[in-house]
Structure 1
């Protein structure tokens, strides 16, 4: 099962509503994925600054104290924002390697959920509506975002196992489907130094995209390569600093629907997730083709 939604805003007047619209879209997908949920929000960024989003092993972990310890060790004046079980530190980009090394040495239980000039990822175990409310997603603004509701079938229900998964700075992936060759891919990725923390096949897909891009491929090229290298069925939605992309497997096994107006481009696993969007009655609505990479990005 699992459910995916994504929204790319063309009209700046809608940007303050990004979180509210994404939350409503996600609410219709709770039955497809009641175990956990996650949101990737692309909001305003600053040149030369990187947002580092971190989370502890459980919601009960004192992430605010951990974030302040990291800030004091790396950049004492850096802003820290706590959102339920996650914290976002805004650091000078050149401070990121030092921050990662400090976390690994001093707080190995803390995970880096995402990094980027604009990207913040928030994900947690629980009913998707509850997850959205706990993080305050409805009040967040931005240019675009993607979201996922998970029904765990091949691995444990955990914060780490929830989507989205980071694939690099300002990039992330959500996945609906199942991969049959994820075990062999995991071993290959680990031999090449890419850490896979969970048994989730979707994290393996994210690691695969990371590997392909490290080898010099573009994200679009990596997605096209996945059509040959990943066995199984899948719909991928990827977030980038400028927008988002969609790819379905060659037989388009999992449901997917798109809608586009002059104000936005939207994706969802079911049409009902699009029904509450403004102007949907006059939108162009269609199913993305199999084995075809689509991208919508700001120039």
Structure 2
């Protein structure tokens, strides 16, 4: 079943409220999928540097001196922010590929990377996951979240959403893809690899692959309608954008709201209850096989 939320802020003065607004929206969707939850926040960036979000089941041991060790291995300055089972490492952009390889060698799970994106996800109820990471206190320009009822893979951290397969790009999904194994092989032939058994990660990889080939966010989302089979609602984030698409049948619930200040998405209208000026918002159900996206 699953529950999806997303919020794209049009005005910078709302940035400090992003985490709180998204957290309330996500908690409202708890009964649509209580086994795991996650959120991607697009926040501040530093020119020339990239952030890598990692996870460990033994964070006390795994994160001890990780920033200093990685700095020595890369011969470059590395800083680290630890939040429960996750750490966000900041390092020079040119060292990203080597850093990810070194982190995987250390047994750390890569959640995502990018100039502005941070991803936090874990097994558990949305309210507990949000509290563990302090999501309510995070600011940013936009973000997406997901609370999961597992259908396609096990209840694990790596099976939780959002999924990221390229810098500053991630995806959450409600539904099920029927040709994800076939598409996984097609993407692998192009050198695009996935880390989990979840069909949603294939959707994320498909979109990032299309963008890497020169497609716009809108074109990449349109491609899902031709190349991905099944029923799905996708909400995706990029460094500058936020997009939504539903399959041609559109059997999964979805609703959107827009004001002069923001664009919001949720699986159910009740997730909008605490958004500012929601009474004055334009509210609609996104049409089947129609792409909606906003970019800065």
| TM-score past 0.5 threshold | yes
Of the structure 1 ranges 164-173 and 59-68, higher mean CA displacement relative to structure 2 is found in: 59-68
Higher deviation after alignment, 74-83 or 88-97: 74-83
Equivalent-residue separation in structure 2 for 1:17 and 1:152 (angstroms): 30
Counterparts of 1:143 and 1:33, CA distance in 2: 26
Distance 2:58 2:130 in 1: 14
Shift of 1:31: 0.6
Structure 1: which 5+ residue stretches go unaligned?
Answer: none
Partner of 2:184: 186
Unpaired segments ≥5 residues, structure 2: none
Partner of 1:85: 85
Aligned to 1:38: 38
Q: Matches of 2:241 and 2:264 in 1, distance apart?
A: 11
After TM superposition, list the pairs within 5 Å mapping 1:52-67 onto structure 2: 52-56=52-56, 58=57, 62-65=61-64, 67=66
Counterpart of 1:220 in structure 2 is 218
> How many pairs were matched up?
295
Q: Distance in 1 between matches of 2:279 and 2:28?
A: 18
Deviation at 1:201, TM superposition (A): 0.8
Asked if 1 retains the 8 angstrom alpha-carbon contact of 2:232 and 2:246, the reply is yes
Equivalent of residue 194 in structure 2, options 178, 193, 196:
196
Higher alpha-carbon deviation: 134-143 or 77-86: 77-86
**Residue 75 (structure 1) shift:** 4.8
SS at match of 2:64: helix
Q: How far did 1:70 drift? A: 2.3
1:42 touches 1:143 (CA, 8 Å); kept in 2?
yes
Whether the aligned pair in 2 keeps the contact of 1:71 and 1:89 (CA below 8 Å) is: no
In the alignment, what sits opposite 2:112?
114
Following superposition, the deviation at residue 66 of structure 1 comes to 6.8
Please state whether the residue corresponding to 2:151 is helix, strand or coil. coil
So what's the TM-score if we normalise by structure 2? 0.95
Listed as ranges, the matches of 1:113-262 within 5 Å are 113-262=111-260
The alignment partner of 2:140 has SS state of coil
Q: Cα gap change, 1:66/1:204 in structure 2, threshold over 3 Å: closer, same or farther?
A: farther
CA distance in structure 1 between the aligned counterparts of 2:72 and 2:89, rounded to whole angstroms: 11
Q: Is the 8 A contact 1:67 1:87 kept in 2?
A: no
Q: Does 95-104 or 258-267 show the bigger shift?
A: 95-104
